[in-house]
Amino acid sequence: MQAALPEPEPDVARPDPASVADDATRARVSPVGGHLERGLALAELILARAQDAGPPGGSRLPTERQLSVDLGVTRSSVRNALALLEAQGRISREVGRGTFLLGRSRPSPALGRDDTTGAGQSGATPAAKAAATADFAPADVMTMRRLLEPPAMVLVVAWATAADLEEMDRCLTLGERATTFEEFESCDLALHRCIMAASHSPMLVSLYAAIEAARHGQVWGDLKRRRSSPERRSQYQADHCAIVDALRDRDSGGAVEAMRVHLARVQEHLNVYDPAAELIWR
């Protein structure tokens, strides 16, 4: 009797190396963990790819649509990640030109990431470059913020687009989900930058870049960290919502007042003196 021959094993599809790489990419930004954590992971992935693709300063990033296709994520996820990178000063988004990678600087032990602001790097404004070389006193920073930001709300009300307001809402959502000082501070920076950019005034944005660079300074960061608490972050988040609501309603007076109240609260918490307050903010 002839022994039965073993049945042939079924063909097993061998994975394509490119698809394996794509799977690895998606695993790094998979929907596990918090929304903000996924945004930060995606931001780091976008940054790493941009740095591998060319020189660190001034390289142009792919469009949001292309990044979405390349990384297998939604465009809104890409937009969130780019907002975080912009708040960290690691990219520069220029209307009509695209998104550009800024140079890297020394690592920041406090934040566990590169402490870059774009100031002093390729594409930075002269004002931001000057701010990068000095560590301004928090009182000075707050005085300039209170002189600049509330009146700017009139321009934002006049010129903000639907896309600008959508970006503000995205920053608010990220701020709501932030659980640490570092996370909330990144979202705070992103929101204020987004609001000022919605003025569509190149000069105003250039002036604000110097203030933002100063907010990355060690003196400012140490003071904010010492004075931070979950309760205060919750108050700031409520202030942010009030500002954006007024902007959405095209309420110039309400937006100016909401920003004024917010900055006065920040200054009170930092316990720094603003000599302009007695003259202007009564």
In this structure, are residues 196 and 171 in contact, taking their beta carbons and an 8 Å threshold?
Answer: no
In this structure, are residues 255 and 240 in contact, taking their beta carbons and an 8 Å threshold?
Answer: no
Confidence at residue 2, expressed as pLDDT on a 0 to 100 scale: 52
Confidence at residue 239, expressed as pLDDT on a 0 to 100 scale: 98
Q: Which residues contact 246 (CB under 8 A, 6 or more apart)?
A: 153, 157, 254, 255, 257, 258
What are residue 105's phi and psi, to 5 degrees? Answer: -125, -165
pLDDT in tens, the chain (282 residues): 555 554 544 444 444 434 434 444 444 444 444 566 777 788 888 888 877 766 554 578 888 888 888 888 888 888 878 877 877 777 877 766 788 887 644 333 333 333 333 333 344 555 545 444 456 788 888 889 999 999 999 999 999 999 899 999 999 999 999 988 888 988 998 999 999 999 999 889 888 988 888 887 777 778 888 889 999 999 999 999 999 999 999 999 999 999 999 999 999 998 876 555 544 444
Question: Length of the chain, please?
Answer: 282
Domains, the chain, ordered by start:
32-108 (1.10.10.10), 125-280 (1.20.120.530)
Q: Which residue has the tokens 């200054």?
A: 267
In this structure, are residues 213 and 128 in contact, taking their beta carbons and an 8 Å threshold?
Answer: yes
Q: CA-to-CA distance for 166 and 42, rounded, in angstroms?
A: 20
Q: CA-to-CA distance for 217 and 144, rounded, in angstroms?
A: 15
Confidence at residue 4, expressed as pLDDT on a 0 to 100 scale: 53
Q: Helix, strand or coil for residue 113?
A: strand
Q: Helix, strand or coil for residue 208?
A: helix
